[in-house]
Chains A and B, each alone.
Chain A
Amino acid sequence: MADKLTLDIVTPYGHVFTDEVDEIIASGSEGEFGVLPDHVPFLTTTKIGVLTYKKGSEVGHFFVNQGYAEVGPDKVTILADSAEKSEEIDVERAREAMKRAEERLKKKEEIDEARATSSLQRAVMRTQVAEKHKAR
């Protein structure tokens, strides 16, 4: 019986995080889900959101872009388009991106609306995750 989970966050830009943790809470496309050791095998798409892990008394947050999560009894692998640890998020950049996306959505002229919306979502989520880090 496993009493620890290995969390792996992999993106096209490299391995973001690998460590043994106690608990993981991630945003699946159908809603948030929590994973403890000995979870049943589970595969889901994930949406833009926050991933939280607990390791002893340590709590960490990640911004995670769209991707997949593969959950096994002692292993969780997140394959995301991009991911950032909360303290590494560039809040300024996210705010600017948020502004840009909002403007584009307001104008409504010949824009790729889906793209603008998801870029807005990413920006909002990034700032939220960054704030989570500060709040601690």
Chain B
Amino acid sequence: MATLRDIQNRIKAVQSTQKITKAMKMVAASKLRKVQSRMLDLRPYADKMHDVLISLAGGADRESHPLLAFRPRKTVEVVVVTSDRGLCGAFNTNILKAAQSCIDGYKKDGFEVSISAVGKKARDYFKRRNVPTRNSWTGISGNVSFSNAGDIANDIKENYINETIDEVIVIYNAFKSMVAQTVTTAKLLPLAPLEEGEEESAPESEAADFIYEPSMEAIFDRLIPRNVDIQIYRALLESSAAEEAARMSAMENATQSCDEMVEKLTLQFNKARQASITGELMDIVGGVEALKG
């Protein structure tokens, strides 16, 4: 049976852990607020840009831009976006699980898979399993900026144009609400609205009637690379917001568990204290009885 002091020490330890988790929760909340507003600001722009491009691409010649070209798929690039730091619940586990099954799926179908790992967690995961990554980026999840996104996007564009990779998939946690993140698998390149064909067919026919200025090619030249940047930037921001939200709820749970723990230990402490007092009383009573005799 634990002594009174032992129990007291444990209570103290749990309480100081609780202080830490509480502080982390607060920090995550303030970071979340910052990144969330940036993400919400970007969303309409990213969506709109994607829409414009898709309606454009419908009427366009696929060969008119190297980033539009459909090639036979040989190598699929999977960009896995995780966080750099842990203590955010199942955030990274979920992503890595999805990534693994996605990679396995492509391998089974006979495609080469190359991996870009964003975030320390993804990098370490593949390193531990001796899976070679084509590239890895760290130090981003805490301070997402447009230039980080640009670096990643440029690398991807370059490799796509060089035909080292023929398809690009991005796997990231999308921020749905404060308590929910959804693992999202998005196809970045080639740009293909064709799979959800039925609904898209109406704007496509419209697209053919557009007047382009200065020319369709010139617009593509600017719009397509820019779209890759924006979509990557968006994935990073979403992931970063989702990470902070996940951390917040993980820390909230931890703080609650600490409360429960303290309660349980206090009960144990009181019981032990009572037991020891009872024991002492018995001793005294026993002693008195003995003297009487």
27 intermolecular pairs with C-beta atoms under 8 Å apart: A10-B44, A10-B45, A10-B48, A12-B146, A12-B230, A13-B38, A14-B44, A15-B41, A30-B213, A40-B209, A40-B211, A41-B211, A42-B210, A42-B213, A43-B52, A43-B56, A43-B210, A43-B211, A43-B212, A43-B213, A44-B212, A44-B213, A45-B218, A68-B219, A68-B222, A79-B48, A79-B49
Q: Is B69 an interface residue (CB 8 A)?
A: no
User: Which residue from chain B places its CB closest to the CB of A39 in the assembled complex?
Assistant: B211
User: Size of chain B's interface in residues, with CB distance under 8 A?
Assistant: 25
Q: Is B214 an interface residue (CB 8 A)?
A: yes
What number of residue pairs across chains A and B have CB atoms under 8 A from each other? 65
Q: Is B158 an interface residue (CB 8 A)?
A: no
Q: Is A119 an interface residue (CB 8 A)?
A: no
Q: Is A118 an interface residue (CB 8 A)?
A: no
List which A58-111 residues lie within 8 A (CB) of chain B.
68, 70, 77, 79
Provide the residues of chain A in CB contact with B38, threshold 8 Å.
13
How would residues 1 to 23 of chain A score, 1 for a CB under 8 Å from any chain B CB and 0 otherwise? Answer: 00000001011111100000000
Q: Is B24 an interface residue (CB 8 A)?
A: no
List which A101-127 residues lie within 8 A (CB) of chain B.
none
Q: Is B42 an interface residue (CB 8 A)?
A: yes
Provide the residues of chain B in CB contact with A28, threshold 8 Å.
213
User: Which residue from chain A places its CB closest to the CB of B230 in the assembled complex?
Assistant: A12
User: Size of chain A's interface in residues, with CB distance under 8 A?
Assistant: 20
Give residues in A with beta carbon < 8 Å to B: 8, 10-15, 28-30, 40-45, 68, 70, 77, 79
Residues of B contacting A: mostly: helix
Q: Can you add 15 more A-B contacts, CB < 8 Å, to A11-B45, A40-B209, A79-B49?
A: A14-B40, A29-B213, A29-B218, A30-B213, A41-B209, A42-B212, A43-B52, A43-B212, A44-B212, A44-B213, A45-B213, A68-B219, A77-B48, A77-B52, A79-B48
Q: Is B223 an interface residue (CB 8 A)?
A: yes
**Chain B proximity of A103: nearest CB distance (Å):** 24
Provide the residues of chain B in CB contact with A42, threshold 8 Å.
210-213
Provide the residues of chain B in CB contact with A43, threshold 8 Å.
52, 56, 210-213, 219
Provide the residues of chain B in CB contact with A11, threshold 8 Å.
45
How would residues 31 to 66 of chain B score, 1 for a CB under 8 Å from any chain A CB and 0 otherwise? Answer: 000000010111011101100100010000000000
